[in-house]
A and B are shown apart, each in its own frame.
Chain A
Amino acid sequence: MLNFFYNSNIFIWIEKLLSFINSIFFALLLVGLSFALIFSPPDYLQGDSVRIMYVHVPAAWIGLASFTLIAILSIFNFIFKIKNLKLITKSIAPIGLIFTCIAIVTGSIWGRPTWGTFWAWDARITSMLVLALFYVIFIAVHKLVSEEDNANKISSIVAITGLINIPIIKYSVLWWNTLHQPASIKITGSSTIHSSMLTPLLLMFFVLLMYCALIFLMKYKTEIIRIKKKNLKRL
């Protein structure tokens, strides 16, 4: 069972997964885009501008989920010192950053027709910006600190500290008066979004999740090769 966690076995699985995702990705993307841009209805209040939701919301979910995962894995890394966890967190961070930035930019574009402004120092938007900063610091630590153990320690501290920001982002719309609307989709309790909009939203989320898996696997593979390269030099 533990054999599976050897880098060589992980590497073979990565190759298989990469080719599988590559084979289905464009078909999924086409279906997702068709639903998001053509088949889903316009909102009764926001009109067609609501279609921005199909990239904005999944991007924000991925940005938040990635950081939560990084922070949880960093805690595990502190306790159990598992080498693979470092590689995983390092590979997830750039994905989280890119999707947090996409959420901020598309949210800003959505704000113009909805609120009449591209930017407001609103609690939700500001806390998302803080999340992006945590990602930047996390990645910068890995780039700037040359000693790998120190880089891992510092980046883990950054991730665990940044975890405080996650509930702030989630509940900012309830704790403060913000321009941002409260959540329409709830894991517990009934959602206030119609199924004709929920379906394309979940479909686009799945498409972007597949994209994340693709990037993550490529980054993880790069990290494994980097380690192997280092070992080769020791010969």
Chain B
Amino acid sequence: MIKDLILMNGYGVFVWSSFIITFLACGVFYYKTRKTLKKYEKEFAKEIEELSTEKKKIVLENSKIASKILSSYNKSI
């Protein structure tokens, strides 16, 4: 049964290569997108940390996004 699934009556090479190419492309694209997002989150959190106490307080009070990113960044380290 496994042999049939791999060979697919001679069409296996075409079917499997199509599926592998599709999921490989999707996997690489997912990895790159996630990596960019994490990089931006990290940079943004670092920039907030580097602000003066007063400015940091203003930013965190006015921006839900900033406080959320900072708290998730602090959890990750």
Q: Would A106 and B18 be within 8 Å (CB), given that A11-B65, A38-B5 are in contact?
A: yes
Q: B25 and A101: CB pair below 8 A? A: yes
Question: Using a Cβ–Cβ cut-off of 8 Å, how many residues does chain B contribute to the interface with A?
Answer: 37
A108 to chain B, nearest CB (A): 9
A160 shortest CB reach to chain B, Å: 26
Most B Cβ at <10 Å: residue of A59, A221, A228:
A228
Give the interface SS of chain B, mostly helix, strand, loop or mixed. helix
Give Cα distance in the complex from A79 to B59, angstroms: 33
How many A-B pairs have beta carbons closer than 8 Å: the answer is 107
Report Cα–Cα, A101/B58, bound state, in Å.
46
Distance of B13 from chain A, by nearest CB (Å): 9
What separation, in Å, do the CA atoms of A11 and B69 have in the docked complex? 10
Report A-chain residues with C-beta under 8 Å of the C-beta of B33. 215, 218-219, 222
Q: B8 near A51 (CB under 8 angstroms)?
A: yes
Secondary structure call for the A interface: helix
Inter-chain CA distance A94–B59, complex, in Å, is: 32
Minimal Cβ-Cβ distance residue in A for B33: A218
Q: Which among B9, B25, B48, B59 is the interface contact of A47 at CB below 8 angstroms? A: B9
B19 near A55 with CB under 8 A, answer yes
Interface residues of A in 190-215 (CB under 8 A from B): 211, 214-215
What CA separation (Å) do A7 and B47 show in the bound complex? 20
Bound: A225/B41 CA distance, A: 7
B9, B25, B34, B64: which contacts A8 (Cβ < 8 A)?
Answer: B64
**One of A36, A49, A228 near B44 (C-beta < 8 A):** A228
Residue of A nearest to B7 (CB): A48
Nearest neighbor of B19 in chain A, beta-carbon distance: A55
Assess whether A98 is interfacial by the CB under 8 Å rule.
Answer: yes
**Which residues from B are CB-within-8-Å of A218?**
33-34, 37
Q: Is the CB of B40 within 8 A of A222?
A: yes
Note all chain A residues with C-beta closer than 8 A to B48: 232
Answer yes or no: A102 CB below 8 A from chain B CBs. yes
Contact indicator B64/A48 (Cβ below 8 Å): no
CB neighbours (8 Å) of A232 from chain B are 44, 47-48, 51, 59, 66
Binding site for B on A (CB under 8 A): 7-8, 11-12, 15, 33, 36-38, 42, 47-49, 51-52, 55-56, 59, 94, 98, 101-102, 105-106, 109-110, 112-113, 211, 214-215, 218-219, 221-222, 224-226, 228-229, 232-233, 235
Q: List 13 A-B contacts (CB under 8 A).
A: A12-B68, A36-B19, A48-B12, A98-B25, A102-B21, A102-B22, A215-B30, A219-B33, A225-B41, A228-B44, A232-B44, A235-B51, A235-B59
A-B pairs, 6 with minimum CB distance: A48-B8, A8-B64, A49-B11, A48-B11, A106-B18, A55-B22
